[in-house]
Structure 1
Amino acid sequence: MVSKSVLFFLLSFTPGIVFAAPQSQPNIVVILADDFGVGDIQAHYPDNKIPTPYLDQLVKEGMSFTDAHSGSAVCSPTRYGLLTGRYSWRTRLQEWVIAAYEPPLISENRLTLPGLLKSRGYQTACIGKWHLGWNWPGPQTSQMREQKNGQWKYKWDFTKPIKGGPNSRGFDYFFGVDLPNLPPFTFIENDHVLEQPTAKFKLDASEGIVLPRGFIGAPTAPDWRMQNILPEITNRAVNYIEQQSQKKTSFFLYFSMTSPHEPVVPSIKFQGKSGIAPIADFVMETDWSAGQVIQAIDRAGIKDNTIVIFTADNGHSHYTGWNDLVEAGHQPSGPYRGHKGDIWEGGHRVPLVVRWPDHIQAGSSSQQMVCLTDILATCAEIARTDLPQSGAEDSLSFLPVLLGEANPESRQTLVSHSNHGEFAYRDGSWKLVFKLSGRNLEQSRGKPTIVELYNLETDIGEEQDLAEKHPETVSRMTTEFTQLIEQGSSRSGQKAANDTRVRFDITQKQRWAPALKD
């Protein structure tokens, strides 16, 4: 039975029926954890060993998606997809992430989620990790370089405004870091460095593990402590919610967490708390951080008019203490194969929990396939606005699913992308994988990819390659995937252009592929 509040919401979308506008549009808070595995919420996998009481409570109050996916198996591409509604592999970035001091991945004229909501009267804020590039001021410009982090030893002018960041991509306010393990090691507020990085980075083993050893001597703020990053951005997010709750204007908060991504630096009160390993402590602090933001919403009295979306940018990292977790009986990827960076399910299948009291059934779950690129279209429908003809190329709304309604436009296909630029194409339960042909990326460049086929309905662990048994399925899906790439969009009827020539049949030769000529 549909509640009155849900009925009102649904009817307000019906053409020809006019209702008085509600007091305000719902606030929207997206909490994006960093390297948080699909198995890391204990309520979803009770046999796993890391307590997550705050996220467990969110699961009880919201809807959990069991077939949710990040746009990529690594950081920057997923963030691009979430904020633009477009797969990142349609850009020139064909592998890995944005390196230190590289330019913006989101073009200046591209539609973004905060920009769309801002046009609907929302106040918009990004607090936490950006990792989508800036135009850093200096004697040289920020450039797309094949050499990873090849620009960190250049001289940059940290006293001048940094262009091309969150404030020029739809956000009214920004506070945070570029990312915690790349220089400069200092906080940034809006388009300015908050504290000048006049010191040089030194390793301090007391901070934690998986510290950025490759950046010894990089610019850092005096007395910079990596253990303070997560508590500080958490406090800022809580303060933002408290301030905005006193205003009549609806707000959108994108809380882009820095944990449990490396450096693994749990603060003092969480060190040793799990009894397993530092990474488990950091997962517990991640749960606490998300919990503080959710509790701030409840405490401010805006719970009923605020949508909370918790998810992650990719699977759990394999190099921050994976073996310690497995030996303790904790499976970060649940039953799925792989981890962060992989084309396998463990690389890109992520937790997704959405809470909206009186609209979403508490404690419910959905098997609907969802990609984080879909958050933009979903928020557009929530904000009662149509997507423009251009932009949001790979964003499909899942609002009807949240409301318990049929969704004829629901996502049926999905494109996944690995750290090394490998592709996978999903159609229902079928997953077609195009993986590296060599032992590593460099040996595979320019060579044909290896094609494998899996049926996730009967083989969730991706153990049985069925490509030889079902050549007709391989052929059909390859043709469909080619069409999806060439169309430049996943949206029905929309024709768009990719920024470069996208190849899945061979491994790309360059991280930054050449731009298409006009």
Structure 2
Amino acid sequence: MILRVSIVVIVVICSLDKTTTLKADEALHKPPNIVVILADDFGVGDILAHYPKNKIPTPYLDKLVREGISFTDAHSPSAVCSPTRYGLLTGRYCWRTRMQEWVIAAYEPPLIEGDLLTLPEFLRENGYETACIGKWHLGWDWAGPQKPKMHPLQRNYQKHFKWDFTKTIGGGPTDHGFDYYFGVVLPNMPPFCWIENDRVTQLPTEKYTYEPEEGFVVMPREFEGAPMAPDWRFETILPELTRRSVRYVHDHAKGDKPFFLYFSQTSPHEPIVPSERFRGKSGIAPIADFVMETDWSVGQVIQAIDDAGLSDNTIVIFTADNGHSHYTGWDKLVAAEHLPSGPYRGHKGDVWEGGHRVPLIVRWPDKVVPGSRSDAMVCLTDVYATCAEVLGRDLPDGCAQDSFSFHGAATRIENPKRPSRSTMVNHSNFGEFAYRRDNWKLVYRLSKPNLEASRGKPTVAELYDLSKDIGEASDLALKRPEKVTELTSELDDLIRSGASRPDAVGRNDCKVRFDVTQQFRWVED
């Protein structure tokens, strides 16, 4: 009897040991989780570890800098919200679409075409669970008696249309590859309410009342009376999105599938609404408080990854959609000796470096060197191709035409079969183009003081050597006309080809001009 019991115990122990080994082996070969955190209007100079002379404390992002690799020549494809989000999720420059300037306005339909394979769709096809939490700002098909369409010039002209908020909303995140979505259209455009998957969670039965001091930054007066959920408070948006992201990480920590979390923060975009615990914390201005809360929000998600035991097999990417906003307290920051754009010219919306040069940090334990830096040229359209290389997959035909992998630059393991980025196109709020090759930057800017006066008129070419003039103070176009001609020809070819990656094939959705300021925000085929 004793012998029989002993044998059983030994068998159980061996069985347990084998099961443990199998689980460990499965974890070792499980594709990494991917978490992309996209801040909104967060300047390249807003991380203290990158610019120690600046003044806003960012302890959580400073820690991420120590644990990851920082790309010092990273850029958003556009200097404003919607186009950058489009580029990140599709790997395609947004100026190839019919939207040639600004962003998606209130109630406008989806910018992403239904047949375009997005990054979350690609990852889902490769076994990932996918979630988007936060700001979408890429359009929805709202239900109503009038079919939404893009007005060629007028912004937010659909705000007076009648919409049925009891119906499902098509064309959003769950129609473009995300298994789960929770968030807002954006914090300063209606409807002011939460959306979960494809439905409004609480009907916006109240009306927004314009308050000049709301959020310390004037909210648009034009949305007076817009639909708003009962008891809606702008200062609760970021904390709630943060809680949801933390919960998602913990809920999926034990799952069999890897996950892709796209946490699209709503801060420090206006309205500038730091929650109570952060109000006055910076001692500088409300916008500085909100930057600190943005830093805290990032830290909570990364802490959740660490607490869930996922650190070793999770890639964390932190970046921003464009430069810091100039109308939310910029002067107070500069007066306090905090430079949101660092040494670069311009800010959000600009074709200059301050408009589109953004922080980009990647943490991937045992794959990237902690506390390191890379001067490789990177665009946020490159996240798509990088994820594909991480998985050892080729990019699907007809997809991610402007995406180059920065996997080799991050891990210092170059793949000669993967083309690397040597040129880049950046786009301004007004539809201006900038073309980079190496340290040369060619700009085609408005010819008149404002956009409306410039429509239909030739743009003005300027040339800068960023290796000697990072502040873009010395225009060399007249001194180096041959370089202007050379780079202009390259830009023209890149636009006409429909793709910038040499092994990709694509086409533009409309005629794209850089030499003339566009006549319309939305153009026909």
Deviations 1:463-485 (Å, cap 9, x if unpaired)?
A: 00011111111111111111101
Letter paired with 1:446: G
Alignment gaps of 5+ in structure 1:
1-18
Note if 1:104 corresponds to 2:101: no
Structure 2 counterpart of 1:13: none
Over 3 Å counting, the alpha-carbon distance change for 1:151 and 1:363 in structure 2 is same
Q: Which deviates more, 416-425 or 466-475?
A: 466-475
Q: Which deviates more, 197-206 or 332-341?
A: 197-206
What is the Cα deviation at residue 348 of structure 1?
Answer: 0.1
Letter paired with 2:369: Q
Structure 1 counterpart of 2:260: 252
Q: Which deviates more, 58-67 or 22-31?
A: 22-31
Alignment of 1:255-334 (within 5 A): 255-334=263-342
Structure 2 counterpart of 1:152: 159
Query: Segments of 4+ in structure 1 off by > 2 A?
Result: 19-23, 203-214, 405-409
Alignment partner for residue 435 of structure 2, among 425, 448, 452? 425
CA distance in 2, matches of 1:22, 1:376: 23
Structure 1 counterpart of 2:87: 81
Structure 2 counterpart of 1:398: 406
Structure 2 counterpart of 1:492: 502
Note if 1:69 corresponds to 2:75: yes
Structure 2 counterpart of 1:451: 461
CA distance in 2, matches of 1:21, 1:191: 33
Note if 1:167 corresponds to 2:177: no
What is the Cα deviation at residue 20 of structure 1?
Answer: 9.0
Structure 1 counterpart of 2:39: 33
What is the Cα deviation at residue 177 of structure 1?
Answer: 0.2
What is the Cα deviation at residue 237 of structure 1?
Answer: 0.3
Note if 1:434 corresponds to 2:444: yes
Note if 1:380 corresponds to 2:401: no
Note if 1:475 corresponds to 2:485: yes
What is the Cα deviation at residue 67 of structure 1?
Answer: 0.2
CA distance in 2, matches of 1:436, 1:402: 36
Deviations 1:334-382 (Å, cap 9, x if unpaired)?
A: 0000000000000000000000000000000000000000000000111
What is the Cα deviation at residue 402 of structure 1?
Answer: 1.1
What is the Cα deviation at residue 404 of structure 1?
Answer: 1.0
Q: For the Cα contact (< 8 Å) 2:397–2:505, is it kept in 1?
A: no
Alignment of 1:133-148 (within 5 A): 133-145=139-151, 146-148=153-155
Deviations 1:383-420 (Å, cap 9, x if unpaired)?
A: 22110121101000010111112355221100010000
Q: Which deviates more, 139-148 or 271-280?
A: 139-148
Note if 1:202 corresponds to 2:206: no
CA distance in 2, matches of 1:398, 1:78: 18
Structure 1 counterpart of 2:360: 352
Alignment of 1:202-221 (within 5 A): 202-204=209-211, 205=213, 207-221=215-229
Structure 1 counterpart of 2:101: 95
Alignment of 1:505-516 (within 5 A): 505-515=515-525
Tell me how large the CA RMSD over aligned residues is: 1.2
Alignment partner for residue 367 of structure 1, among 365, 375, 381? 375
CA distance in 2, matches of 1:429, 1:150: 41
Q: For the Cα contact (< 8 Å) 1:398–1:407, is it kept in 2?
A: no
Q: For the Cα contact (< 8 Å) 1:129–1:178, is it kept in 2?
A: yes
Structure number with larger C-alpha Rg: 2
CA distance in 2, matches of 1:25, 1:433: 41
CA distance in 2, matches of 1:280, 1:153: 35
Q: For the Cα contact (< 8 Å) 1:211–1:264, is it kept in 2?
A: no
Deviations 1:47-104 (Å, cap 9, x if unpaired)?
A: 0000000000000000000000001000000000000000000000000000000010
Name the SS for the 1:482 alignment partner: helix
Over 3 Å counting, the alpha-carbon distance change for 1:21 and 1:291 in structure 2 is closer
CA distance in 1, matches of 2:102, 2:145: 27
CA distance in 2, matches of 1:490, 1:381: 18
What is the Cα deviation at residue 212 of structure 1?
Answer: 3.2
Alignment partner for residue 181 of structure 1, among 185, 188, 204? 188
Name the SS for the 2:133 alignment partner: strand
Q: Percent identity?
A: 66
Letter paired with 1:442: E
Structure 1 counterpart of 2:8: none
Structure 2 counterpart of 1:6: none
Note if 1:54 corresponds to 2:64: no
Q: For the Cα contact (< 8 Å) 1:123–1:172, is it kept in 2?
A: yes
Name the count of aligned residue pairs: 497
CA distance in 2, matches of 1:99, 1:134: 11
Letter paired with 2:232: W
Name the SS for the 1:315 alignment partner: coil
Q: For the Cα contact (< 8 Å) 1:122–1:250, is it kept in 2?
A: yes
Over 3 Å counting, the alpha-carbon distance change for 1:194 and 1:465 in structure 2 is same
CA distance in 2, matches of 1:20, 1:264: 45
Deviations 1:100-157 (Å, cap 9, x if unpaired)?
A: 0001000001011100000001000000000000000001122111210110111100
Letter paired with 1:131: H
Q: For the Cα contact (< 8 Å) 2:214–2:271, is it kept in 1?
A: no
Structure 2 counterpart of 1:190: 197
TM-score (norm 1): 0.95
CA distance in 2, matches of 1:342, 1:150: 25
Q: For the Cα contact (< 8 Å) 2:268–2:287, is it kept in 1?
A: yes
Letter paired with 1:456: L
Note if 1:335 corresponds to 2:346: no
Q: For the Cα contact (< 8 Å) 2:215–2:270, is it kept in 1?
A: no
CA distance in 1, matches of 2:146, 2:455: 30
Q: For the Cα contact (< 8 Å) 1:39–1:332, is it kept in 2?
A: yes
CA distance in 2, matches of 1:198, 1:484: 48
